[in-house]
């Protein structure tokens, strides 16, 4: 078994990388006076957010050979993400998404995603060396919609699983308007979640996948079905979690929210940043109640800060910014999470 010191990267993220055109004013797309270009795509966001927090990250996926594709590659590189697994197929343009903002900083998406570059990526393009040499492999469900990218995702998952030591995480990131039907989406996503050791999703996704409106029942049902740790984000109210016999909730943070794009990705990156401070086999990790709550609190802080600017990547915080938000909540009885040095895997 390889030791942690032999790992090339802490975290490898596979999936979509695209251009988000974020509306410059709240309201429906038809009334938007203009748009601001930003790099987007949930797995890519996680890679960037985690790199900003100090992790060594890499991204696997495909973008076009067009100007937008070059912009996305440069954006990941400038944020410290390893792009040796980012390919530019000879066919297919870079995917686009137009994002409209609501008064509560939530958003709606309109995707331009037909025959784009990620649909032209094949298993032969996959950098399996990165997958096999990371500590955590992260993916979402959008890469399962198109047959070619589904095959890529399944090949990467098999490689991660077969190492016997790579910890697999998944954010379903359900976008039903990209699937042929909700039935197909639900069945495919539930099937792939059984590969994961940790699943992160929001309340709406939890109800969609489990059919349970009650959060606690849905959380327990998904944990029992997948045998994975489960994190459920609740927007400004914080997050709930279940890891083995440990269940609980951690409160959110009050910030001046502008755009919630990337909040869940920031949360995921924050959680993984804390989790990866542990030593040993992550697949055997069983954090105690206090440690797990501290990890989720930190994740909540990172996710909250990701809402304070338009677009995801510009808003992802540094460690000092996340620490400042945590320290500013001392009047609420919260303290900055410990570095997790006493928590061991295995």
Write the pLDDT tens digit of every residue in 156-172: 999 999 999 999 999 99
341, part of any domain: no
In a domain, 214, yes or no: yes
User: Which pLDDT belongs to residue 74?
Assistant: 98
Identify whether 301 is part of a domain. yes
* 8 — pLDDT class (breaks 50, 70, 90): confident
Full residue range of the structural domain in which residue 226 is found: 4-17+42-85+126-326
Higher-confidence residue of 258 and 278: namely 278
Average pLDDT, integer, range 191-212: 97
Q: Give the chain's largest Cα–Cα span.
A: 57
Contact between residue 229 and residue 212 where contact means Cβ atoms under 8 Å apart: no
Q: What distance in Å separates the CA atoms of residue 174 and residue 169, rounded to the nearest whole number? A: 15
Domain-embedded: residue 345:
no
253 belongs to a structural domain: yes
Residue 11 DSSP SS3:
strand
Distance CA 146, CA 149 (A): 6
CATH number at residue 161: 3.40.1190.20
Look at residue 92 and tell me if it is in a domain: no
Both tokens of 210, joined, read 């489990």
Return phi, psi of residue 210, to 5°: -100, -20
What pTM, to 2 d.p., does this model score? 0.90
Smallest CA-to-CA distance from 54 within 336, 323, 344, 327 is with 323
State the pLDDT at residue 106.
Answer: 64
In a domain, 100, yes or no: no
- Render pLDDT for 99-112 as a digit per residue (tens, 0 to 9): 887 766 566 788 99
User: What does 179-192 look like in DSSP terms, one character per residue?
Assistant: SS-HHHHHHHHHHH
- Does residue 25 belong to any structural domain of this protein? no
123-133 pLDDT, tens digit each: 999 999 999 99
The tally of domains found in the chain comes to: 1
Q: Is the sign of the CA dihedral 273, 278, 284, 285 positive or negative?
A: negative
- Find where tokens 């938000």 sit: 325
């Amino acid at each position: 078994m390889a030791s942690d010191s032999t790992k090339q990267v802490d975290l490898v993220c596979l999936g979509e990388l695209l251009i988000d055109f974020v509306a410059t004013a709240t309201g429906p797309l038809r009334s938007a006076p203009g748009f601001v270009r930003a790099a987007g795509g949930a797995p890519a966001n996680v890679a960037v957010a985690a790199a900003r927090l100090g992790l060594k990250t890499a991204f696997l996926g495909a973008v076009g050979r067009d100007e937008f594709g070059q912009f996305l590659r440069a954006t990941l590189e400038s944020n410290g993400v390893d792009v040796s697994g980012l390919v530019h197929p000879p066919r297919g343009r870079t995917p686009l998404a137009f994002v409209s903002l609501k008064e509560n900083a939530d958003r709606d998406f309109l995707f331009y995603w037909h025959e784009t570059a990620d649909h032209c990526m094949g298993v032969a393009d996959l950098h399996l060396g990165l997958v096999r040499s990371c500590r955590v492999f992260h993916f979402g469900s959008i890469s399962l919609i198109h047959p070619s990218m589904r095959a890529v995702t399944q090949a990467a998952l098999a490689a991660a699983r077969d190492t016997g030591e790579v910890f697999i995480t998944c954010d379903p990131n359900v976008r039903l308007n990209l699937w042929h039907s909700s039935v197909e989406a639900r069945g495919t996503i539930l099937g792939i979640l059984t590969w994961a050791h940790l699943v992160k999703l929001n309340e709406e996704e939890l109800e969609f996948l489990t059919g349970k409106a009650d959060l606690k029942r849905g959380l327990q049902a998904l944990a029992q079905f997948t045998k994975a740790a489960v994190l459920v984000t609740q927007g400004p109210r914080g997050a709930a979690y279940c890891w083995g016999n440990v269940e609980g909730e951690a409160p959110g943070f009050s910030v001046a929210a502008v755009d919630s794009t990337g909040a869940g990705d920031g949360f995921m990156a924050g959680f993984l940043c804390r989790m990866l401070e542990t030593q040993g086999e992550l697949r055997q990790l069983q954090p105690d109640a206090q440690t797990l709550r501290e990890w989720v609190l930190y994740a909540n802080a990172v996710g909250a800060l990701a809402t304070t600017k338009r677009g995801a990547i510009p808003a992802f915080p540094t460690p000092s910014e996340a620490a400042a938000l945590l320290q500013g909540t001392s009047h609420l009885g919260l303290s900055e999470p410990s570095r997790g040095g006493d928590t061991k895997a295995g």
